[in-house]
Amino acid sequence: MTPPVFVSNRIFEQTGYTRNHPLSIGRVGPVVRICRLLGWLDDANYRESEPVAREVLAQFHDAGYLDALIRVSEAGAASAGDREKFRLGTMENPVFPQLFQRVAASVGGSVLAAKLVADGGVAFHPAGGTHHGRPGRASGFCYSNDPVFTIRELLRQGHNRIAYVDLDAHHGDGVEDACAGDDRTLCISIHESGRWPGSGMCSGDRAINIPVARGFDDRGFIRVMHLQVLPALAAFAPEAVVLTCGADCLAGDPLSAMQLSNAALWAAILDIVGMTPRAVVLGGGGYNPWTTVRYWTGLWGRLNGWAAPAELPAEAQTVLRGLTCDLVDDEDVDPAWCVSLADAPVPKEMEMES
């Protein structure tokens, strides 16, 4: 199998959204910088994606919504009508510079990732994972839905069993609804019960929803993986898997009360990836920049079989110490978040079986 490929676009090395928005934090840019500092990323395993054209976005989105998205992006503001009809220019989904370009680049990266694994392998696109986007409106910080485009590209290639696994703290509602009625797909979502968008409380034939309580930790997560997720995937026998690896399920995230460690998530993702010949691994939510950057950086290392260093080199620690977040008070920043990648090891008795 070919080595994993890291997919991104330089637009994501800059912070998007607007001041005081939960996503106005460093995420993909610091991941890229630390991976390069660790020697984990170079021209051989990095692919720069291109933004997709409007015509590609129109394969999922309504024409009126795309008109509005381009209009507000060019104007730098949304009208009252666009806010009401398309949910653009709200506090949740603000208008900011290069909005349309950023949306097109996110979808472009996920489509490229799917193309790169057509013959097998793993592609990692941390700027993807916008799983709430709807055909006719923005939703939950998401202006499109790149996981849907990823799934559709894999189906277009002729793969007839595509599993979608969502590990974000919020239910992957947009993806589930887009895949409804398609027997070629299986959607699995582990998410915090009662958390926005409030859906995902019931399961169906091709949608397995696993709502979990506040404080859900590694022990419960590993049990869910063993008893529900892995058996369901084994029964489905996917030809490809798409994962949304939101970091908001980690302990310390301000927009969730889940308490997972990145070590448990890395192990679970490796188990899932190992069940299929091709996998696209996307980002997702994550509103604590320290835990998000450590998780995705370490995930890229683990996908390649590289162990996280016990202590990061000084240059990498400087990158982490330079992160800021209005939603995390200074006294709540764990010093360990700026020194190493891995959270406290999962006890041996809790480790997932291969």
- Render pLDDT for 160-176 as a digit per residue (tens, 0 to 9): 999 999 999 999 999 99
142: which DSSP letter?
A: B
Strands (E) across the chain are located at 5-8, 46-48, 121-125, 162-166, 185-192, 207-212, 240-244, 278-282
Whole-number average pLDDT of the chain: 96
pLDDT, tens digit (0-9, with 9 covering 90-100), for 319-348: 999 999 999 999 999 999 999 999 986 555
pLDDT for the residue 204: 84
Nearest to 178 by CA among 51, 53, 59, 280: 59
Determine what percent of the chain is predicted with pLDDT higher than 70.
97
Residue 301: which H helix or E strand, with range?
A: helix 289-303
Which domains does the chain show, CATH number per domain?
A: 5-47+103-350 (3.40.800.20)
Mind listing the pLDDT tens digit for each residue in 121-132?
A: 999 999 999 999
What is the pLDDT confidence band of residue 311, given thresholds at 50, 70 and 90?
very high
How far is it, in rounded angstroms, from Cα 319 to Cα 281? 24
The answer to which of 158-162, 173-177, 210-214, 349-353 has the lowest mean pLDDT is 349-353
Q: Is residue 353's pLDDT more than 70?
A: no
CA distance readout (Å), 102 to 33, 98, 315: 19, 6, 28
What is the separation of C-alpha 132 from the centre of its chain, rounded to a whole number of angstroms? 11
155's CB contacts (< 8 A; 6+ apart) are: 162, 184, 185
**150 has a pLDDT exceeding 50:** yes
Q: Is the dihedral of CA 198, 201, 203, 207 positive or negative?
A: positive
Condensed to tens digits (0 to 9), the pLDDT of residues 70-80 reads 999 999 999 99
Identity of the amino acid at 347: P
| pLDDT of 18 above 70 | yes
Task: State yes or no: pLDDT of 350 exceeds 80.
Answer: no
Query: What is the reported pLDDT for 346?
Result: 53
Edge-to-edge strands, sheet with 46-48: 46-48, 5-8, 121-125, 278-282, 240-244, 162-166, 185-192, 207-212
Q: Phi-psi region for residue 140, left (φ > 0), alpha (ψ -120 to 50) or beta? A: left
Active-site residue set? 132
